[in-house]
Structure 1
Amino acid sequence: MGSMLPAPPTVADLRGAGVRPEEVFAWQPTEIVWRVHRTTGTNVLPWNSMRTFGPILRFDHHPPPRAEHPGYGVWYGASSPRGGLAEAFQSSRVIDRHRGGPYLTGLRFTRPLSLLDVSGIGEGTWATRVGGNHALDSAAHGRTQHWARTIHRAHDDLDGIVYRGRCAGSICIAITEPAADAFPALPAVSLPLSHPGLSGPIDSAAHQLGYAIT
């Protein structure tokens, strides 16, 4: 699948291409961002901490090899609880409400985030204009991480990337260290997946996604 997406241009070429106003998505503080995260086990991070170990996931901008990279941080969120569940459990397609003490946390950032729209969610078609395409949402991680590293180096004034989640199709964000100052002191909501109040939303998300629940 990586072959569907060409390698990114050089950092200099990407910087030269610039970013047009319609290619930047302003994520507003009124919007809740959802994240499913483990609270027990190894390598657990607080809900508001960026992951410095990488690269692992689609838009990780850490340099290779996969290791601890101080100074590089990434944090993923989704625009809906279903999107968060879809991304968190995509490899097994089983929503495990217990292993790792998973929580669903929703938060509002304290300022607007400037996110590069790589999926044509808004009016722009940045990915196509700079020589790529919308396979950024689905291509092999090695290739999309190469794009993420190049974007991060070319446009260090942006807070991150907005894209379409591969599983739920919902809008997702991957933010990097410029956005570290935008986390609130407290989340809007944070509940364990085993909480009775979440059984309805989890059941409906699993039904829509075709995931199992344990």
Structure 2
Amino acid sequence: MPPLPHPPGVDALRAAGIQPDEYLELPADTMIWRVHRTSGTHVLPWNALRTYGPILRFDPHPRPRKDHPRHGVWYGASDVPGALAEMFQATHVIDRTAGTPYLTGLQFTRPLCLLDVAGFGDGRWPTRVGGNFALGTAAHGIAQHWARTIRAAHPDLDGLAYRGRFSGGLCLALFTPAASAFPPTPALSLPLDHPGLASRLAGAARRVGYILT
């Protein structure tokens, strides 16, 4: 695949628009999973968007890296292996104790309108606007440039639907408009070292080839 070029300008991206088949509408009854730390520095609640950035792949925060209250991001996955693969991608070791990580599952209170940047549907938005599907694997700096430009061109968009680099499944990068869709309580939230999660985590670790400690 050719390298990912820089995005066109905000005006050009806005003019290109988003065709109906380039959206992924996530039904409200879809269970989405997130693994998150609950102790240590820079800990956020399970339903809080991170306004400090940019740090990760699709962070839409402007530069320089600092707190940007008007620009938040929240990452999730459509299954447990995907959430674990994204959280522990740096080491491929699922550490159940450091940072007291929790597995949280939730269903949003309304459907989410997401831009499909991975080709889950029939649309091919990245190619049509001058990019390509390396969005999911390119260096963070250029992917963040795309995220910033998308956010500026389409400020009402709930976020992006992308393919997890390590799990291959559906992952979400949600932006500030999605904050209104979070439920008051999650469907499930347990520490990774909870005995009831042992077999589920072991199976997930086998699927992605990670070590479980």
Q: TM-score range by the shorter chain?
A: over 0.9
1:83 and 2:82 are equivalent in the alignment: yes
Q: CA deviation at 1:208?
A: 1.6
Aligned length: 213
**Residue of structure 2 equivalent to 1:14:** 13
What residue in structure 1 maps to residue 59 of structure 2?
60
Unaligned segments of structure 1, at least 5 residues: none
CA distance in 2, matches of 1:99, 1:124: 41
Report the TM-score when normalising by structure 1.
Answer: 0.98
Residues 17-56 of structure 1 mapped to structure 2, 5 A cutoff: 17-56=16-55
In structure 2, distance between residues paired with 1:156 and 1:142: 20
1:67-96 CA-partner distances (Å, limit 9, x unpaired): 111111100000001100000000011000
- Distance, in Å, in 2 between the alignment partners of 1:71 and 1:84 is 26
In structure 2, stretches of 5+ residues that fail to align are: none
Alpha-carbon distance, 1:55 to partner:
0.4
Structure 2 residue aligned with 1:190: 189
CA distance in 2, matches of 1:157, 1:60: 16
Counterpart CA distance in 2 for 1:71 and 1:129 is 29
What percentage of residue pairs aligned between the two structures are identical?
A: 61
Residue-by-residue CA offset, 1:153-176 (whole Å, 9 max, x unaligned) = 001121000000000101000011
C-alpha distance in 1 between matches for 2:118 and 2:80: 20
What SS does structure 1 have at the residue aligned with 2:86? helix
> How does the TM-score come out when normalised to structure 2?
0.98
Tell me, in whole angstroms, the C-alpha distance in 2 between the residues paired with 1:200 and 1:126: 39
CA shift, 1:49, in A, is 0.2
The alignment status of 1:92 with 2:91, answered yes or no, reads: yes
The aligned residue for residue 120 of structure 1 is: 119
Match of 1:179, as an amino acid? A
Aligned equivalent of 1:149: 148
**Which residue does the alignment assign to 2:72?**
73
Q: Aligned AA for 1:90?
A: Q
Equivalent positions of 1:123-202 (< 5 A) are 123-202=122-201
Moved more, 59-68 or 136-145: 59-68
**Cα RMSD for the two superposed structures:** 1.0
Q: Deviations over 1:42-85 (max 9, x none)?
A: 10000000000100111000011111111111000000011000
In structure 1, give the amino acid aligned to 2:173: A
